[in-house]
Chain A
Amino acid sequence: MTVHETRSDSGLILPEYLPDEGSHPPLDSPGYRSSALRHPKQPLQYLPQNLTEVTGPLLGQDRCGEQDHDLTAQHDGEPLGERIIVSGKVLDSAGKPIPNTLVEIWQANSSGRYLHQGDRHPAPLDPNFSGTGRCMTDAEGNYRFITIKPGAYPWRNHDNAWRPAHIHFSLFGQAFTQRLITQMYFPGDPLFYQDPIFNSVRDEKARERMISRFDLDSTVPEWALSFKWDIVLRGPQATVFEDEEEEDDD
């Protein structure tokens, strides 16, 4: 409270996003070989949360086509694989839903192959699957994609290395501080134990927050299984001003 009173002297009052380093993997994770030459060795410098950091791109509906959320409807035919619905809420660590924010995803097809020239996995491409989607969250922070379950795929990190099935997610939230790139995993995957990317997140509870939940209630009978996954971005510290706003809303 003191901080905010001091701040108001300059006439500029900004939200302050809570730190969340404890959730994230260290940039230096020796098990993930490619991190060796790609992590800074000098200590990170302090950056106050000023205007550039508390604002961020509010990319809108114009970035999303009508079928962008449905990865099974982007071609003439249907992709092969297990049709699934992936949905959930984007919220902040204060528990507040983030409405109208862009969610982008990309993934391998059902045989574990990306439509990418760098992907050398000898598994078939699917002419009816590109593997990218985007949507906006609604007024309550909900997002929803229709896709197919991605396959696991091998990579060269260590001997006989396989990535567990995952969908890549990109989130903007409403502030530069909230930007997040992550991966959604599927429950009970037998490959978790040997995956250095999944296990780069040191805290077991935090790792579990990357795993979606099978949800029978939201499956569409005789059509698609459903996985639920909420994504939590950093939230602002509660302030006197926000409490007042909430009272006004009631």
Chain B
Amino acid sequence: MGVPATTPSQTVGPFYALPDGILWDDGPELVPADRDGAFVLHGVLRDGNGDPVPDGVIEIWQADEQGRFDHPDDPRPDSSGWQGFGRCPTDTEGRFWFRTVKPGALPTPGGETEAPHIDVTVLARGMLNRVVTRVYFPGEAANDADPVLAAVPAERRDTLLGVTDEQGLRFDVRLQGDGETVFFAV
């Protein structure tokens, strides 16, 4: 039996931000401000010249504080009602933000432990497919044993680490050039 081949990706283009379209009002807010441990994850999306990308969309996907997902393919007891998804357009200065909590560490099928991390999708005009990266937390002891970080060349690992600042956690994304963010093939 023949199996269908997948549909190709195309750019999100410049006009995704139509009223009542894919950008919801609560898009960047995974948790209310008064949730224990709530913090702001924020950053700037930049292109190969280091210029801000004003027409990008950032999406994040992550576990809850206990490292759980509300999803049938997570075979562990679920975390009902945890949405774990956020979406934020970049503004005229390339900035994006989310309000979230730090996810728990995760077991892997191979018996290892992944340090707390947030999966990130970057979309923009000029990008024919999404790119994917991860945010890790600075100073986290579990980072040393994380199998994904370990596979990244040491000199580029910093691009995956958030930086604590007065607003919360800063995570800048550089699509190309000096300090290019590490992107993953999913």
| Partner-B contacts on A (CB < 8 A) | 6-7, 9-10, 12-15, 20-21, 23-27, 29, 32, 34-42, 44-59, 63, 91, 93-95, 104, 106, 108, 114-116, 118-119, 130-132, 168, 170, 174-177, 179-183, 197-198, 200-201, 205-207, 209-210, 230-235
By secondary structure, the B interface counts as loop
B119 touches A53 (CB 8 A): yes
Shortest beta-carbon distance from B47 to chain A in Å: 4
B126 touches A52 (CB 8 A): no
A209 touches B75 (CB 8 A): no
Cβ-defined partner of B48 (8 Å) among A10, A36, A207, A234: A36
By secondary structure, the A interface counts as loop
Shortest beta-carbon distance from A33 to chain B in Å: 8
Q: Which residues of B contact A115 (CB under 8 A)?
A: 18-19
Tally chain B residues at the interface, Cβ within 8 Å.
80
The answer to whether A93 and B4 touch (CB under 8 A), given A48-B147, A52-B119, A57-B84, is: yes
A56 touches B127 (CB 8 A): no
Q: Which residues of A contact B111 (CB under 8 A)?
A: 9-10
CB of B8 within 8 A of chain A? yes
Interface 1/0 per residue, B1-16 and A, CB below 8 Å: 1011111111111111
B8 touches A25 (CB 8 A): yes
CB of B168 within 8 A of chain A? no
Chain A residue nearest to B10 in the complex (CB): A183
The answer to whether A205 and B15 touch (CB under 8 A), given A45-B152, A50-B106, A176-B186, is: no
CB of B20 within 8 A of chain A? yes
A106 touches B16 (CB 8 A): yes
B107 touches A207 (CB 8 A): no
Q: Which residues of A contact B9 (CB under 8 A)?
A: 23-25, 180-182
Q: Which residues of A contact B51 (CB under 8 A)?
A: 37
CB of B167 within 8 A of chain A? no
